[in-house]
Amino acid sequence: MQISPLYWVGFFVFVAIMLFLDLKVFNREDKTPTIKGSLITSGFWIVLALLFSFVIFHLGGKTPTIDYLTTYTLELSLSLDNLFVFILVFTYFHIDQKYQHRVLFWGVFSAIILRVLFILGGAAILSRFQWLMYVLGAFLLYAGIKMFFEKSNQNDNLDDSRLMQFLNKILPIETTDEGPKFFIKDHGKWYVTQFMVALIFIELSDIIFAFDSIPASLAVTQNTFVVITSNIFALMGLRSFYAALSIILPMFKYIKYGLASILAFIGLKMIINEIAKTVGWHFEISNAASLGFIVLALGIAIIASLISNRRKKQA
């Protein structure tokens, strides 16, 4: 699928306009988001992402469209793991709900730039060194198995983290509540606020999660336009999803197992498909099958969580 520079420019202009409207128009005033409003905004981003699939279909037909929908669903599901980190960070730094959107906005803005660079670099490397598909497949399989058996710790304390200790040493951090400011000046000296430290944690967490999500996306397709657009749509909706799901997400205690299964499946798919291609087998785990597995894994995890919660209440 050949993409002209006009489509690239048009997409990024669209993203820039939406980011501007988001910060300067729709969220100009700091206010505590409601679940209803967040769900409406989340639905808006999902509809936009689905509508963009028609653009992909126009450019490349059925196969790239399935690749796009699979990658978008994959990134959206894996981003759920980020939400737990957001909850931990905002709770630790006592960031008021009405200000959290500002931190997430700049976090997502930075993440978009880094994701584009990572995807372009990753696709270029894979196109030259195809054997790396085995390495990435094994990495995702290992990451999925590790996540499945890893014990979740809901009482993580950022005081004990090496990053927090490092930041306390190198940055002049001011804990005084000065409103939604990233930097403040006091007696001629500049300080970083809790907002800036929270942003650093969120940005670094996204980089860490990108080591899982970007190889998983490139396992679906190495078409950079499809991977970048699906990733950006997932990121753009992440802020709204956080506001909507930060309250109800902890109720889905089995969601981690669904995400772990997805990572392991994508890794296994990469290895099997690459082996089949190498030895000349007429076999391939299609992206349509991957999309079905992602939806099924998330559905089972959510239903199992709801059943467990109901039994707990009845006990």
Q: Determine the average pLDDT of the residues in 287-294.
A: 85
Residue 54 has pLDDT above 90, yes or no: yes
Residue 21 has pLDDT above 70, yes or no: yes
- What is the per-residue pLDDT across 66-79, written as a single tens digit (0 to 9) for each? 999 999 988 888 87
Higher pLDDT, 254 or 243: 254
Location of structure tokens 């930097």: 183
Please tell me the pTM assigned to this model.
0.78
Strand order of the β-sheet with 173-174 is 173-174, 189-193, 183-186
Residue 16 has pLDDT above 70, yes or no: yes
Q: Is residue 90 within 8 Å of 32, Cβ to Cβ?
A: no
- Structure-block tokens of residue 264: 């392991």
Q: Is residue 165 within 8 Å of 173, Cβ to Cβ?
A: no
Per domain, the residue ranges of the chain are 5-314
Q: Is residue 30 within 8 Å of 180, Cβ to Cβ?
A: yes
Q: Is residue 215 within 8 Å of 122, Cβ to Cβ?
A: yes
Task: Give me the helices (H) in the chain, please.
Answer: 5-21, 35-60, 62-78, 80-92, 97-128, 132-149, 162-170, 194-220, 224-236, 238-245, 255-279, 287-314
- What is the per-residue pLDDT across 185-224, written as a single tens digit (0 to 9) for each? 777 788 888 888 888 888 887 787 787 788 888 888 889 9
Among 9-18, 32-41, 148-157, 240-249, the least confident range: 148-157
Banded pLDDT at 53 (limits 50, 70, 90) = very high
Banded pLDDT at 155 (limits 50, 70, 90) = very low
Q: Which DSSP string do the residues of 115-164 spell out, in sequence order?
A: HHHHHHHHHHHHHH-TTHHHHHHHHHHHHHHHHHHSPP-TT--GGGSHHH
What average pLDDT does the chain have? 82
Residue 27 has pLDDT above 80, yes or no: no
- What is the per-residue pLDDT across 97-147, written as a single tens digit (0 to 9) for each? 778 888 888 888 888 888 889 888 888 887 788 778 888 888 888 888 888
Plot region of 286 (φ>0 → left; ψ -120 to 50 → alpha; else → beta): beta
Residue 253 has pLDDT above 60, yes or no: yes
Higher pLDDT, 306 or 181: 306
Q: Determine the average pLDDT of the residues in 271-281.
A: 85
Residue 236 has pLDDT above 90, yes or no: no
Among 15-19, 32-36, 87-91, 191-195, the least confident range: 32-36
Q: Determine the average pLDDT of the residues in 279-308.
A: 86
Q: Determine the average pLDDT of the residues in 28-55.
A: 83
pLDDT of 174? 72
Residue 56 has pLDDT above 90, yes or no: yes
Residue 184 has pLDDT above 70, yes or no: yes
pLDDT of 146? 85
Residue 36 has pLDDT above 60, yes or no: yes
